[in-house]
Chain A
Amino acid sequence: MPTTGPLIVTRDLAKVYQLDGYQVQALRGVSIAIDAGEFVAVMGPSGSGKSTFMNLLGCLDSPSAGEYFLAGEPVSRLTGDALAATRNRRIGFVFQNFNLLPRTSARENIELPLLYCGIAAAERRQRALQRLADVGLADRADHHPAQLSGGQQQRVAIARALVNDPLLILADEPTGALDTHTSCEVMALLQQLNRNGMTVVLVTHEHDIARFARRIVSFRDGRVVEDHRVEHPSDAAAMAAQMQDEAAA
């Protein structure tokens, strides 16, 4: 990493949308710092600005004002292709609805980010299969998304997020489309990645899910209203195992 400071630093980050002639202040100056290795849950009701904040962190959108440094680099000043390259190499996305390409095998879905940084086919394949094994789906490489369960699809999506060795994982409501048990399994995977040193930023509106993180940042009306550490995060793996036992009993 180029600097020793926090992985993410935002200063007075603001976003204004123009909607049919009037302005919507989605984000009204957010200053926050997230260190490498943190597991942060971003919470808030709809319209609180948490999604806008996520989009800015993910370099999917540019701020109207303020600054955003990712690993010391002022990405808020980047445009077009440079932003695409940042998304490609530094950020791994996990979406609520998985966003896997239909009629495309799990392996090829995972290869997708590698396709856009000019990695040769043989290496793409090898790295994709490795990540697939990491998320426990080594035997599903040739399955299409339609042939996988929701939890399996989300694990493929996580493998895709990891394939380019990003600096952080941005997960936008990753359990929103999953049942409780599967949600726990997916959260267990994210917790495990975090324990191995991966920075994870998670957007959720569910308190139960946020409890798996080690830090919770709450948004309201485009501002951070609360930012606290979670002393004893829930252990997703243990909960999943417990639920399994209850179901068996």
Chain B
Amino acid sequence: MNITSSIRIALRALRVNKLRSSLTMLGIIIGVAAVIVMISIGGGAQARVEEQIKSLGSNLIIVLPGSVTSGGVRMGAGSRSSLTEDDAHAIQREIAEVQAAAPALRGTGHVVAGNNNWSTVFYGVNLEYFEARNWVIASGRGFEPAEITGSGKVLLLGETVARNLFGDSDAIGQTVRVRKVPMQVVGVLERKGQSLQGQDQDDVILMPISTARNRVLGGNLAKVRSVGSISIKVREGANLTEAESEIRSLLRQRHRLQQRGQDDDFTLRNLAEVLSAQEESSRIMTLLLAAVASVSLLVGGIGIMNIMLVSVTERTREIGLRMAVGARGHDILTQFLVEAITLAVIGGLLGVVLGMGGSYAISELAGWRVQLRPESIAIAVGFAAGIGIFFGFYPARKASRLLPIEALRYE
């Protein structure tokens, strides 16, 4: 007997008891839908983490100046001004693993454009900064080298700042006053979205480092060439830990720190570890959600087994007749197995539809990000079919082992 006729017989048998078949399927439908919804929610969370890793750069090392201890009170990382632009150049020049080392000065301040104003963070940067921090110009142009060195009065707006100052109108060419210093907007940065900590990465202004030092921040910073941070992008494939230790020893050497007894006067931060931990936790979360949802799938499977056992008992005479006219044991086994698999697969497909609808509803109503990969759907349907085989096998085998003479006489 070929598989097409097996499926047709199975479909007919399932049609005979429509209500019972639908209720049995409901268990699988709910199970698969739950798995799909959970996987898509987990997938959404994972995709967000992955996107953030992309926007930050997983191969990013940030060097911050060390802390100042004043009268026993330690002021925290970055309070000393121990890093200089020359440190950044040295790192770029001397460490092979480094693709870009970009010094930056950070400041906060009030910005005004026309009638609108906004408070934001600004960074004084050089050209390497764009490469190190994966900033892309969405519209307008980037900085010219002459503007970087010559305190050019130009700036780039993050998407949030541009929206708050200019709304929908074009920001490029407009004048923005940062801490009362008028500067011209030459471009808008591409949107990065929220950081892992929930900060808006687009609430930012970039300006040439010399501009920040000489025109905006002012003060003694101008003399020492110190910088607020150095962002270092390590080459693709290079060992991050190795690069980190090389940077550390280079900086210790440049800062003339003793081999023993003297602590670093800077801090190295490596985002890769934080990010991979987040990625890992979101993956575990997805697995956990899927595992919980699988329990309902399992219960659905037990429902199939239950109904198939009832069905085998009810149709004992039919089995006897089929055997009398020549059905072999494995024909009967196949028939009931196909019936169970058909129940499970139809339930699975309906479950996928329901699950996708559910995911969509969640993303619409709760505003959560959901993402469903095609292979997840295939796995869910495959898993449902597996449930059908697993829970259908025992009843089917029971049917196939009936003795024809006893099955025929069964009342």
Contact = CB atoms under 8 A, between A and B. Distances in A.
Interface of A: 55, 58, 60-61, 80-81, 84-85, 87-89, 93, 95, 99, 101, 103-104, 112-113, 115-118, 121, 160, 164
B5 interface: yes
Interface string B294-323: 000000000000000000000001101111
A61 B326 contact: no
B101 to A, nearest CB: 75
A81 B12 contact: no
Contact of A118 (B1, B12, B318, B321): B1
Interface in B323-348: 323-331
Contacts of A81: 328-330
B321 A55 contact: no
B408 A99 contact: yes
A88 B324 CA distance: 8
Contacts of B16: 103
B328 A113 contact: no
Contacts of B318: 101
Interface size class of B (residues with CB under 8 A): 20 to 34
Contacts of A55: 405
Contacts of A121: 5
Contacts of A164: 326
13 contacts: A55-B405, A60-B323, A60-B405, A80-B328, A81-B328, A81-B329, A81-B330, A84-B326, A84-B329, A85-B328, A113-B325, A117-B326, A164-B326
Nearest to A87: B326
B197 interface: no
Contacts of B323: 60, 84, 87
Contacts of B322: 112, 116
B304 to A, nearest CB: 22
A116 B326 contact: yes
B410 to A, nearest CB: 11
B5 A58 contact: no
A104 B322 CA distance: 13
A84 B321 CA distance: 12
Nearest to B323: A84
A115 B1 contact: yes
Contact of A60 (B1, B317, B328, B404): B404
B326 A118 contact: no
A116 B328 contact: yes
**Max chain A C-beta neighbours (<10 A), residue from B5, B16, B322:** B322
B220 interface: no
A89 B322 CA distance: 13
A120 to B, nearest CB: 9
B5 A116 contact: no
A55 B403 CA distance: 12
B70 interface: no
Contact of A113 (B317, B326, B404): B326
B169 interface: no
Nearest to A172: B408
A101 B317 CA distance: 9
B324 A58 contact: yes
Nearest to A101: B318
Interface string B368-410: 0000000000000000000000000000000000011100100
Nearest to B4: A121
